[in-house]
Chains A and B, each alone.
Chain A
Amino acid sequence: MSPVSRGFRGRRREEAAATGRVPPGQYVTDDFPVLSAGPTPHTPTDEWTFSIRRARDVVKSWTWPEMRALPAETVTADIHCVTRWSKLDTQWDAVSIDTLLEQAGTEAAYVLAFSDGGYTTNLPIADVTGGRAWLAFGYGGEPLHPEHGGPARLLVPHLYFWKSAKWVRGLELLHHDEPGFWETYGYHMYGDPWREQRYAGD
Protein backbone atom coordinates (compact mmCIF):
# COMPACT_ATOMS: atom_id res chain seq x y z
CA MET A 1 0.00 0.00 0.00
CA SER A 2 1.45 3.31 -0.99
CA PRO A 3 1.59 5.98 1.71
CA VAL A 4 -0.72 8.94 1.29
CA SER A 5 1.01 12.07 0.00
CA ARG A 6 0.01 14.86 2.38
CA GLY A 7 -2.15 17.44 0.64
CA PHE A 8 -2.18 15.76 -2.78
CA ARG A 9 -5.55 15.78 -4.49
CA GLY A 10 -4.75 15.24 -8.15
CA ARG A 11 -6.89 16.72 -10.86
CA ARG A 12 -9.96 18.59 -9.83
CA ARG A 13 -12.19 15.66 -9.21
CA GLU A 14 -15.60 17.09 -8.51
CA GLU A 15 -17.40 14.93 -6.05
CA ALA A 16 -20.12 12.89 -7.66
CA ALA A 17 -22.85 15.39 -6.87
CA ALA A 18 -24.54 13.90 -9.85
CA THR A 19 -25.29 10.78 -7.85
CA GLY A 20 -26.10 7.78 -9.86
CA ARG A 21 -24.32 9.12 -12.88
CA VAL A 22 -20.81 8.09 -11.96
CA PRO A 23 -19.89 4.40 -12.15
CA PRO A 24 -17.78 2.83 -9.39
CA GLY A 25 -14.10 3.83 -9.29
CA GLN A 26 -14.53 6.82 -11.58
CA TYR A 27 -13.81 10.53 -11.08
CA VAL A 28 -15.62 13.32 -12.83
CA THR A 29 -13.43 15.69 -14.78
CA ASP A 30 -13.92 18.96 -16.63
CA ASP A 31 -11.08 18.23 -19.03
CA PHE A 32 -11.23 15.99 -22.03
CA PRO A 33 -8.03 13.95 -21.74
CA VAL A 34 -6.40 12.71 -24.91
CA LEU A 35 -5.25 9.12 -24.69
CA SER A 36 -3.66 7.40 -27.61
CA ALA A 37 -1.58 4.36 -28.46
CA GLY A 38 -0.05 5.95 -31.51
CA PRO A 39 0.39 9.03 -33.66
CA THR A 40 -2.79 10.92 -34.56
CA PRO A 41 -3.99 10.01 -38.04
CA HIS A 42 -5.06 12.88 -40.26
CA THR A 43 -7.39 11.48 -42.89
CA PRO A 44 -8.86 14.14 -45.16
CA THR A 45 -12.62 13.80 -45.56
CA ASP A 46 -12.26 13.48 -49.33
CA GLU A 47 -10.30 10.27 -48.74
CA TRP A 48 -12.48 9.00 -45.91
CA THR A 49 -14.88 6.09 -46.23
CA PHE A 50 -16.80 4.03 -43.71
CA SER A 51 -17.45 0.38 -44.58
CA ILE A 52 -19.45 -2.48 -43.25
CA ARG A 53 -17.49 -5.63 -44.10
CA ARG A 54 -17.94 -9.31 -43.72
CA ALA A 55 -14.82 -11.44 -44.09
CA ARG A 56 -13.06 -8.73 -46.04
CA ASP A 57 -15.91 -8.24 -48.50
CA VAL A 58 -17.36 -4.77 -48.41
CA VAL A 59 -21.07 -5.09 -47.88
CA LYS A 60 -21.75 -1.36 -47.92
CA SER A 61 -19.60 1.72 -47.93
CA TRP A 62 -20.18 5.46 -47.57
CA THR A 63 -18.04 8.39 -48.61
CA TRP A 64 -17.97 11.46 -46.36
CA PRO A 65 -20.66 13.34 -48.29
CA GLU A 66 -22.81 10.19 -48.38
CA MET A 67 -22.45 9.74 -44.64
CA ARG A 68 -23.19 13.40 -43.94
CA ALA A 69 -26.34 13.15 -46.03
CA LEU A 70 -27.74 10.55 -43.64
CA PRO A 71 -30.08 11.65 -40.85
CA ALA A 72 -27.99 12.85 -37.92
CA GLU A 73 -28.75 13.87 -34.37
CA THR A 74 -27.18 15.62 -31.42
CA VAL A 75 -26.36 13.17 -28.67
CA THR A 76 -25.70 14.19 -25.08
CA ALA A 77 -23.96 11.49 -23.09
CA ASP A 78 -21.81 10.79 -20.07
CA ILE A 79 -18.58 9.03 -21.01
CA HIS A 80 -16.40 6.82 -18.85
CA CYS A 81 -12.77 6.00 -19.54
CA VAL A 82 -11.21 2.88 -18.09
CA THR A 83 -8.34 5.06 -16.83
CA ARG A 84 -10.94 6.34 -14.33
CA TRP A 85 -12.06 9.70 -15.61
CA SER A 86 -15.68 10.36 -16.48
CA LYS A 87 -17.02 13.37 -18.31
CA LEU A 88 -20.67 14.27 -18.03
CA ASP A 89 -23.01 15.78 -20.59
CA THR A 90 -20.70 15.56 -23.57
CA GLN A 91 -22.35 16.65 -26.78
CA TRP A 92 -21.86 15.01 -30.13
CA ASP A 93 -23.21 15.30 -33.66
CA ALA A 94 -23.64 11.82 -34.99
CA VAL A 95 -25.31 9.31 -37.24
CA SER A 96 -26.89 6.33 -35.50
CA ILE A 97 -25.15 3.02 -36.18
CA ASP A 98 -28.68 1.61 -36.61
CA THR A 99 -29.02 3.75 -39.75
CA LEU A 100 -25.76 2.39 -41.17
CA LEU A 101 -26.50 -1.25 -40.34
CA GLU A 102 -30.04 -0.99 -41.71
CA GLN A 103 -28.67 0.26 -45.00
CA ALA A 104 -26.16 -2.55 -45.06
CA GLY A 105 -29.01 -4.97 -44.44
CA THR A 106 -27.01 -7.79 -42.94
CA GLU A 107 -27.04 -9.84 -39.79
CA ALA A 108 -24.26 -10.53 -37.39
CA ALA A 109 -23.77 -11.42 -33.76
CA TYR A 110 -20.69 -9.26 -33.14
CA VAL A 111 -18.76 -6.47 -34.76
CA LEU A 112 -15.09 -5.53 -34.74
CA ALA A 113 -14.68 -1.79 -35.24
CA PHE A 114 -11.51 -0.91 -37.15
CA SER A 115 -9.71 2.42 -37.38
CA ASP A 116 -6.96 4.30 -39.16
CA GLY A 117 -3.67 3.38 -37.50
CA GLY A 118 -4.74 -0.23 -36.93
CA TYR A 119 -6.79 0.07 -33.75
CA THR A 120 -9.66 -2.37 -33.30
CA THR A 121 -12.28 -3.06 -30.64
CA ASN A 122 -15.06 -5.63 -30.41
CA LEU A 123 -18.73 -5.26 -29.46
CA PRO A 124 -21.88 -7.41 -29.48
CA ILE A 125 -24.37 -6.33 -32.14
CA ALA A 126 -26.95 -5.50 -29.47
CA ASP A 127 -24.58 -2.87 -28.07
CA VAL A 128 -24.24 -0.99 -31.35
CA THR A 129 -27.93 -1.05 -32.22
CA GLY A 130 -31.21 -0.04 -30.59
CA GLY A 131 -30.09 3.58 -30.38
CA ARG A 132 -27.05 2.82 -28.24
CA ALA A 133 -24.25 3.69 -30.65
CA TRP A 134 -23.31 6.33 -33.17
CA LEU A 135 -20.76 7.41 -35.72
CA ALA A 136 -19.82 10.83 -34.33
CA PHE A 137 -18.38 13.59 -36.55
CA GLY A 138 -18.93 16.58 -34.31
CA TYR A 139 -18.13 17.38 -30.67
CA GLY A 140 -19.30 20.40 -28.67
CA GLY A 141 -20.89 21.88 -31.78
CA GLU A 142 -17.65 21.78 -33.79
CA PRO A 143 -16.19 19.27 -36.24
CA LEU A 144 -14.53 16.47 -34.31
CA HIS A 145 -10.83 17.30 -33.85
CA PRO A 146 -8.28 14.68 -34.94
CA GLU A 147 -6.87 14.34 -31.43
CA HIS A 148 -10.32 13.28 -30.25
CA GLY A 149 -10.83 10.88 -33.13
CA GLY A 150 -11.84 13.07 -36.04
CA PRO A 151 -12.97 13.07 -38.77
CA ALA A 152 -15.28 10.47 -37.18
CA ARG A 153 -15.25 8.08 -34.27
CA LEU A 154 -17.48 5.44 -32.83
CA LEU A 155 -19.53 6.59 -29.85
CA VAL A 156 -20.84 3.90 -27.48
CA PRO A 157 -21.29 5.73 -24.18
CA HIS A 158 -22.79 2.86 -22.18
CA LEU A 159 -19.46 1.00 -22.34
CA TYR A 160 -15.95 2.08 -21.30
CA PHE A 161 -14.69 4.62 -23.77
CA TRP A 162 -11.96 2.43 -25.28
CA LYS A 163 -14.87 0.81 -27.13
CA SER A 164 -15.65 4.16 -28.79
CA ALA A 165 -12.97 3.71 -31.41
CA LYS A 166 -11.32 6.92 -32.60
CA TRP A 167 -10.62 7.41 -36.31
CA VAL A 168 -13.07 4.60 -37.06
CA ARG A 169 -13.32 3.47 -40.67
CA GLY A 170 -15.78 0.61 -40.43
CA LEU A 171 -17.28 -2.42 -38.77
CA GLU A 172 -16.35 -6.00 -39.51
CA LEU A 173 -19.35 -8.31 -39.04
CA LEU A 174 -18.55 -11.45 -37.07
CA HIS A 175 -20.30 -14.61 -35.93
CA HIS A 176 -18.10 -14.94 -32.87
CA ASP A 177 -16.70 -12.42 -30.43
CA GLU A 178 -13.07 -11.63 -31.21
CA PRO A 179 -10.83 -9.52 -29.00
CA GLY A 180 -9.75 -6.18 -30.39
CA PHE A 181 -6.54 -4.32 -29.54
CA TRP A 182 -6.85 -3.69 -25.78
CA GLU A 183 -8.99 -6.79 -25.25
CA THR A 184 -6.08 -8.88 -26.53
CA TYR A 185 -3.92 -7.46 -23.74
CA GLY A 186 -6.33 -8.30 -20.96
CA TYR A 187 -8.99 -5.63 -21.06
CA HIS A 188 -12.55 -6.90 -20.68
CA MET A 189 -14.34 -8.23 -23.76
CA TYR A 190 -17.53 -6.35 -22.90
CA GLY A 191 -16.54 -3.39 -20.71
CA ASP A 192 -19.61 -2.34 -18.70
CA PRO A 193 -18.53 0.55 -16.42
CA TRP A 194 -21.49 -0.08 -14.10
CA ARG A 195 -20.21 -3.56 -13.33
CA GLU A 196 -16.64 -2.21 -13.36
CA GLN A 197 -15.60 -4.62 -16.11
CA ARG A 198 -12.16 -3.14 -16.76
CA TYR A 199 -10.10 -6.31 -17.16
CA ALA A 200 -10.79 -9.87 -18.29
CA GLY A 201 -12.20 -11.81 -15.37
CA ASP A 202 -13.79 -8.79 -13.69
Chain B
Amino acid sequence: MAGTALRRRLTWQIATVAAVCDETATVRTIELQLPDWIGHRAGQHLDVRLTAEDGYSAERSYSIASAPGEPVAITVQRLEDGEVSPYLTTELRAGDELEVRGPIGGYFVWDADGAASPLLLAAGGSGIVPLRSILRHRARSGAVVPARLLYSVRSWPDVIYRSELEQYAGSVSVTYALTRQAPPGWTGHRGRVDATLLADVAWPIGREPVAYVCGPTSFVETIAEGLVGLGYPARLVKTERFGGAGGP
Protein backbone atom coordinates (compact mmCIF):
# COMPACT_ATOMS: atom_id res chain seq x y z
CA MET B 1 0.00 0.00 0.00
CA ALA B 2 2.78 2.42 0.92
CA GLY B 3 4.58 1.64 -2.35
CA THR B 4 1.61 2.43 -4.57
CA ALA B 5 0.81 5.51 -2.49
CA LEU B 6 4.24 6.92 -3.30
CA ARG B 7 3.99 6.36 -7.01
CA ARG B 8 0.52 7.76 -7.64
CA ARG B 9 -0.01 11.07 -9.40
CA LEU B 10 -0.72 13.98 -7.12
CA THR B 11 -3.63 15.92 -8.56
CA TRP B 12 -5.89 18.68 -7.36
CA GLN B 13 -9.39 17.65 -6.41
CA ILE B 14 -12.45 19.48 -5.17
CA ALA B 15 -13.28 18.75 -1.55
CA THR B 16 -16.56 19.70 0.09
CA VAL B 17 -16.51 21.18 3.57
CA ALA B 18 -18.47 18.76 5.75
CA ALA B 19 -18.20 20.71 9.00
CA VAL B 20 -16.26 23.45 10.73
CA CYS B 21 -15.45 23.53 14.40
CA ASP B 22 -13.76 26.31 16.35
CA GLU B 23 -10.98 25.01 18.57
CA THR B 24 -9.97 28.40 20.03
CA ALA B 25 -10.77 32.04 19.27
CA THR B 26 -8.41 31.96 16.30
CA VAL B 27 -8.21 28.30 15.36
CA ARG B 28 -10.71 26.24 13.42
CA THR B 29 -10.85 22.61 12.34
CA ILE B 30 -12.33 21.97 8.93
CA GLU B 31 -13.62 18.50 8.11
CA LEU B 32 -13.55 17.64 4.42
CA GLN B 33 -15.24 15.15 2.13
CA LEU B 34 -13.01 14.20 -0.77
CA PRO B 35 -14.15 12.34 -3.86
CA ASP B 36 -10.81 10.69 -4.48
CA TRP B 37 -9.00 10.09 -1.20
CA ILE B 38 -6.54 7.23 -0.92
CA GLY B 39 -6.03 7.57 2.81
CA HIS B 40 -3.16 9.22 4.65
CA ARG B 41 -0.41 8.69 7.21
CA ALA B 42 -0.18 10.54 10.51
CA GLY B 43 1.91 13.69 10.01
CA GLN B 44 1.12 14.31 6.35
CA HIS B 45 -0.37 17.52 5.01
CA LEU B 46 -2.62 18.89 2.27
CA ASP B 47 -2.09 21.77 -0.12
CA VAL B 48 -5.11 24.07 -0.41
CA ARG B 49 -5.67 26.42 -3.33
CA LEU B 50 -8.14 29.31 -3.31
CA THR B 51 -9.17 31.22 -6.41
CA ALA B 52 -10.92 34.58 -6.41
CA GLU B 53 -13.43 35.65 -9.04
CA ASP B 54 -10.83 37.66 -10.91
CA GLY B 55 -8.58 34.64 -11.22
CA TYR B 56 -6.21 35.59 -8.41
CA SER B 57 -5.11 32.47 -6.56
CA ALA B 58 -3.25 31.61 -3.38
CA GLU B 59 -1.92 28.29 -2.15
CA ARG B 60 -1.05 27.13 1.37
CA SER B 61 -0.20 23.85 3.10
CA TYR B 62 -2.05 22.58 6.19
CA SER B 63 -1.27 19.55 8.30
CA ILE B 64 -3.94 16.88 8.49
CA ALA B 65 -5.35 16.86 12.00
CA SER B 66 -7.17 13.55 11.84
CA ALA B 67 -5.77 10.05 12.13
CA PRO B 68 -5.60 7.57 9.26
CA GLY B 69 -9.04 6.05 8.93
CA GLU B 70 -10.88 9.11 10.24
CA PRO B 71 -12.57 11.69 8.00
CA VAL B 72 -9.95 14.10 6.67
CA ALA B 73 -9.71 17.29 8.68
CA ILE B 74 -7.27 20.19 8.76
CA THR B 75 -6.81 22.65 11.59
CA VAL B 76 -6.05 26.23 10.57
CA GLN B 77 -4.78 29.06 12.73
CA ARG B 78 -5.87 32.55 11.74
CA LEU B 79 -2.85 34.78 11.18
CA GLU B 80 -3.33 38.47 11.86
CA ASP B 81 -2.05 39.59 8.47
CA GLY B 82 -2.85 36.38 6.68
CA GLU B 83 -4.34 36.13 3.26
CA VAL B 84 -5.79 32.62 3.31
CA SER B 85 -6.22 31.77 7.01
CA PRO B 86 -8.75 34.55 7.73
CA TYR B 87 -10.90 33.20 4.88
CA LEU B 88 -10.65 29.59 6.05
CA THR B 89 -11.32 30.39 9.69
CA THR B 90 -14.14 32.91 9.33
CA GLU B 91 -15.76 32.81 5.89
CA LEU B 92 -15.64 29.17 4.80
CA ARG B 93 -18.67 27.12 5.79
CA ALA B 94 -20.15 23.65 5.44
CA GLY B 95 -21.14 22.99 1.86
CA ASP B 96 -18.41 25.18 0.36
CA GLU B 97 -15.88 23.65 -1.97
CA LEU B 98 -12.14 23.71 -1.48
CA GLU B 99 -9.49 22.74 -3.98
CA VAL B 100 -6.96 20.44 -2.32
CA ARG B 101 -4.18 18.04 -3.18
CA GLY B 102 -2.72 15.39 -0.98
CA PRO B 103 -1.82 13.63 1.09
CA ILE B 104 1.72 14.97 0.93
CA GLY B 105 4.83 14.00 2.82
CA GLY B 106 6.85 10.91 3.59
CA TYR B 107 9.39 12.25 6.04
CA PHE B 108 7.40 13.82 8.85
CA VAL B 109 5.18 10.76 9.31
CA TRP B 110 4.69 8.19 12.05
CA ASP B 111 3.27 4.74 11.47
CA ALA B 112 1.87 2.67 14.32
CA ASP B 113 2.75 -0.53 12.45
CA GLY B 114 6.05 -1.76 13.74
CA ALA B 115 6.51 1.22 16.05
CA ALA B 116 8.87 0.44 18.92
CA SER B 117 10.61 3.71 19.88
CA PRO B 118 9.29 5.92 22.66
CA LEU B 119 7.82 9.04 21.10
CA LEU B 120 8.81 12.57 21.98
CA LEU B 121 6.48 15.12 20.41
CA ALA B 122 7.33 18.82 20.65
CA ALA B 123 4.86 21.40 19.40
CA GLY B 124 5.07 25.17 19.15
CA GLY B 125 1.71 26.85 18.61
CA SER B 126 -0.09 25.36 15.61
CA GLY B 127 2.70 22.80 15.32
CA ILE B 128 0.45 20.63 17.49
CA VAL B 129 -1.70 19.75 14.46
CA PRO B 130 0.34 16.94 12.85
CA LEU B 131 1.32 15.70 16.31
CA ARG B 132 -2.34 15.40 17.22
CA SER B 133 -2.78 13.20 14.15
CA ILE B 134 0.08 11.04 15.45
CA LEU B 135 -1.47 10.80 18.92
CA ARG B 136 -4.90 9.91 17.56
CA HIS B 137 -3.35 7.27 15.30
CA ARG B 138 -1.42 5.84 18.24
CA ALA B 139 -4.59 5.67 20.35
CA ARG B 140 -6.74 4.16 17.59
CA SER B 141 -4.16 1.57 16.66
CA GLY B 142 -3.51 0.48 20.21
CA ALA B 143 0.25 0.96 19.75
CA VAL B 144 2.00 0.51 23.07
CA VAL B 145 4.96 2.87 22.62
CA PRO B 146 5.17 5.41 25.44
CA ALA B 147 4.66 9.02 24.36
CA ARG B 148 5.49 12.42 25.79
CA LEU B 149 4.24 15.72 24.45
CA LEU B 150 5.90 19.06 25.08
CA TYR B 151 3.54 21.82 23.98
CA SER B 152 4.60 25.45 23.92
CA VAL B 153 1.89 28.11 23.51
CA ARG B 154 1.43 31.76 24.39
CA SER B 155 -1.30 31.24 26.96
CA TRP B 156 -3.79 28.68 28.21
CA PRO B 157 -6.67 29.80 25.92
CA ASP B 158 -4.32 29.22 22.97
CA VAL B 159 -3.99 25.52 23.68
CA ILE B 160 -5.56 23.70 20.74
CA TYR B 161 -7.38 20.38 21.42
CA ARG B 162 -7.22 21.08 25.14
CA SER B 163 -9.92 18.68 26.34
CA GLU B 164 -8.70 15.96 24.00
CA LEU B 165 -5.20 16.26 25.39
CA GLU B 166 -6.61 16.06 28.91
CA GLN B 167 -8.22 12.76 27.98
CA TYR B 168 -4.81 11.31 27.18
CA ALA B 169 -3.74 11.63 30.82
CA GLY B 170 -2.16 8.35 31.78
CA SER B 171 -1.32 7.33 28.26
CA VAL B 172 0.58 10.45 27.16
CA SER B 173 2.57 12.65 29.47
CA VAL B 174 1.79 16.25 28.46
CA THR B 175 3.93 19.17 29.55
CA TYR B 176 2.93 22.72 28.69
CA ALA B 177 5.13 25.79 28.43
CA LEU B 178 3.12 29.01 28.53
CA THR B 179 5.32 31.64 27.03
CA ARG B 180 3.41 34.88 27.56
CA GLN B 181 0.67 34.51 30.11
CA ALA B 182 -0.24 31.91 32.70
CA PRO B 183 -3.55 31.52 34.55
CA PRO B 184 -3.64 32.21 38.29
CA GLY B 185 -2.16 29.37 40.27
CA TRP B 186 -0.21 27.97 37.31
CA THR B 187 2.52 25.67 38.55
CA GLY B 188 3.73 24.63 35.14
CA HIS B 189 6.54 26.12 33.09
CA ARG B 190 6.43 29.82 32.26
CA GLY B 191 8.35 31.24 29.33
CA ARG B 192 9.93 29.50 26.39
CA VAL B 193 11.17 25.95 26.56
CA ASP B 194 14.69 26.04 27.95
CA ALA B 195 17.45 23.48 28.17
CA THR B 196 16.38 22.37 31.67
CA LEU B 197 12.78 21.75 30.71
CA LEU B 198 13.80 19.94 27.56
CA ALA B 199 16.22 17.70 29.42
CA ASP B 200 13.46 16.99 31.94
CA VAL B 201 10.85 16.01 29.37
CA ALA B 202 12.93 14.33 26.71
CA TRP B 203 13.32 10.58 26.80
CA PRO B 204 16.88 9.64 27.73
CA ILE B 205 18.71 8.48 24.64
CA GLY B 206 19.21 5.06 26.17
CA ARG B 207 15.52 4.44 25.44
CA GLU B 208 16.21 4.94 21.71
CA PRO B 209 13.46 7.49 21.25
CA VAL B 210 12.32 9.24 18.11
CA ALA B 211 11.32 12.91 18.19
CA TYR B 212 8.88 14.91 16.09
CA VAL B 213 9.25 18.68 16.37
CA CYS B 214 6.82 21.04 14.65
CA GLY B 215 5.99 24.73 14.83
CA PRO B 216 7.52 28.09 13.94
CA THR B 217 11.00 27.87 12.46
CA SER B 218 12.73 29.41 15.47
CA PHE B 219 10.98 27.01 17.88
CA VAL B 220 11.85 23.97 15.79
CA GLU B 221 15.49 24.94 15.50
CA THR B 222 15.85 25.61 19.21
CA ILE B 223 14.28 22.29 20.19
CA ALA B 224 16.04 20.25 17.51
CA GLU B 225 19.39 21.71 18.48
CA GLY B 226 18.62 21.03 22.11
CA LEU B 227 17.75 17.40 21.44
CA VAL B 228 20.88 16.84 19.39
CA GLY B 229 22.75 18.38 22.31
CA LEU B 230 21.16 15.76 24.57
CA GLY B 231 22.56 13.07 22.32
CA TYR B 232 19.63 12.43 19.99
CA PRO B 233 20.97 11.35 16.57
CA ALA B 234 19.92 13.98 14.02
CA ARG B 235 18.12 11.42 11.87
CA LEU B 236 15.83 10.58 14.81
CA VAL B 237 14.80 14.21 15.29
CA LYS B 238 12.18 14.83 12.64
CA THR B 239 11.34 18.45 12.02
CA GLU B 240 8.64 20.40 10.22
CA ARG B 241 8.93 24.18 10.12
CA PHE B 242 5.90 26.40 9.81
CA GLY B 243 7.65 29.72 9.25
CA GLY B 244 7.78 32.75 11.48
CA ALA B 245 4.24 33.82 12.15
CA GLY B 246 1.80 32.89 14.86
CA GLY B 247 4.16 31.15 17.22
CA PRO B 248 4.52 31.16 20.94
Contact = CB atoms under 8 A, between A and B. Distances in A.
Contacts, number: 43
Interface in A130-186: none
Report the interface size class on chain B: 10 to 19
Interface centre among B50, B81, B83 (most CB of A within 10 A): B50
Given A2-B12, A3-B97, A5-B98, A27 B52 contact: no
A31 to B, nearest CB: 8
Interface residues of A, number: 14
Contacts of A2: 12, 49, 51, 57, 99
A10 B97 contact: no
Contact of A5 (B12, B51, B81): B51
Contact of A8 (B12, B50, B81): B50
Interface string A28-43: 0001000000000000
A6 interface: yes
Interface centre among B52, B58, B92 (most CB of A within 10 A): B52
Contacts of B97: 3, 5-6
Main secondary structure of the interface of A (DSSP, over half): loop
A195 to B, nearest CB: 20
A14 to B, nearest CB: 13
A8 to B, nearest CB: 5
A13 interface: yes
A9 B51 CA distance: 8
B91 interface: yes
11 contacts: A2-B57, A3-B51, A4-B52, A4-B53, A5-B98, A6-B96, A7-B96, A8-B87, A10-B52, A10-B56, A27-B56
